[in-house]
Amino acid sequence: MLYLLLTVACSVLLGFIFKLFARFGVDGFQAIVFNYATCFCCGWLHLGYFPVQAENFGTSWMPYALVLGLIFVSGFNLAALTVRYFGVTIGQIMQKMSILMTVPFAILAYQESAGWIKIIGIVFALISIVLVNWPSTPELRSEAKTSPELRSGEHTPKNLLWIPFATWILAGLLEVLLVRVQNEGLTDMSDPTFIITIFGTAGVLGLLLAIVGWATGRLQFSWKNVAAGIILGIPNYGSMLFMLFALDSGLEGSFVFPVANVSIIVVTTIGAVTLFREQLSRLNWVGVALAVTAIALITF
């Protein structure tokens, strides 16, 4: 449970750092790219030697690490597009709804426990994700309504519905692949080489996209994006490392991911109220209470 708590703590810190990006004019995509490089360097320091070794390319986990690295980059860009066209609420919900894929997969493929109390807890968790992320005031509108692309009439929300759906698919696929790697024993989860390779792959792919952006003028390089990436990368490395440690400790994936996702939402929401003076509606607080109940039921 300690590793799960550390996972939540690091992930919540990530959320708060992201909240500060807009205030300081940080470009999220570039910060994410430098974040992956930072994660790779953190892993390098953690291991004590350069993590890319020739023998690693023949391991059974290498294809998963490469695919997960691609998912990291693609998932981030799709999540950003979801927020852009459909708003923060839909973006948060679609990412956290990944447990709709992870939990059934873990239960059906690997016969993880599935008592009625746990199932009810997972249902509560899904409902709480929606309620906690529901806009707290009627004036809060989706960014889709103010998007230049939508105002111009080039696209309609109906034509873009694939974006949040793809965001959900990639978020779920990421967790499903981690569950598979764990249950198939493809790698030692206590060895950070696996996640270092994931971050390295994501970093290389992200850097290639960034170089194209800089060359075409679509992106403007700034050292503050580098600094933001470094600040973001340290807790990001911790969140993934502790997640793997939690799975390696014997906790089931159908337990780890729902509890982690809901806990992150609850702690982030309460932290936003305390630190950023955000206002929550009664519906939001009902969602928080339901989330706490869900965690209690799932851990019962």
Backbone angles phi, psi at 220, to 5 degrees: -115, 120
Predicted model pTM: 0.85
Q: What CA–CA distances, in Å, run from 105 to 77, 113, 120, 240, 293?
A: 25, 12, 17, 20, 23
By the 10 Å C-beta count (0-12 exposed, 13-18 middle, 19+ buried), 44 is classed as middle
The pLDDT of residue 138: 52
- Could you identify the residue written with the tokens 């996209």? 209
- The label of the residue with tokens 């509560």 reads 124
Query: Which single residue is written with the structure tokens 């989330």?
Result: 291
Residue 69's contacts (CB-CB under 8 Å, 6 or more residues apart) are 197, 198, 199, 200, 201, 202, 204, 205
Other CB atoms within 10 A of residue 233 CB = 25
What are the DSSP calls for 122-158, one per residue? HHHHHHHHHHHHS-SSTT---GGGT-HHHHTTS--GG
Alpha-helix residue ranges (DSSP H) falling in 62-192? 62-86, 88-96, 99-110, 116-133, 148-151, 162-183
Terminal Cα distance for the chain, rounded: 13
| pLDDT at res. 154 | 45
Give pLDDT, residue 137: 58
Q: What is the predicted pLDDT for the residue at 136?
A: 64
pLDDT at residue 280, rounded to an integer: 81
Q: What is the pLDDT of residue 142?
A: 45
For residues 112 and 235, give the distance between their C-alpha atoms in angstroms, rounded to a whole number: 29
Residue with tokens 């890319």: 52
Task: Note down pLDDT in tens along the chain; length 300 residues.
Answer: 899 999 999 999 988 888 888 789 999 899 999 999 999 999 999 999 999 999 999 999 999 999 999 999 898 888 878 877 777 677 778 888 888 899 999 999 998 888 899 999 999 999 998 898 887 655 444 444 444 444 444 444 567 788 889 999 999 999 999 999 999 999 988 889 999 999 999 999 999 999 999 999 999 999 999 999 999 999 999 999 999 999 988 888 889 999 998 998 888 888 888 887 878 888 889 999 999 999 888 876
Joined together, the tokens standing for residue 16 give: 């708060």
Sign of the Cα pseudo-torsion (276, 136, 78, 147, in order): negative
- 88-96 and 253-275 helices, crossing angle to 10°: 150
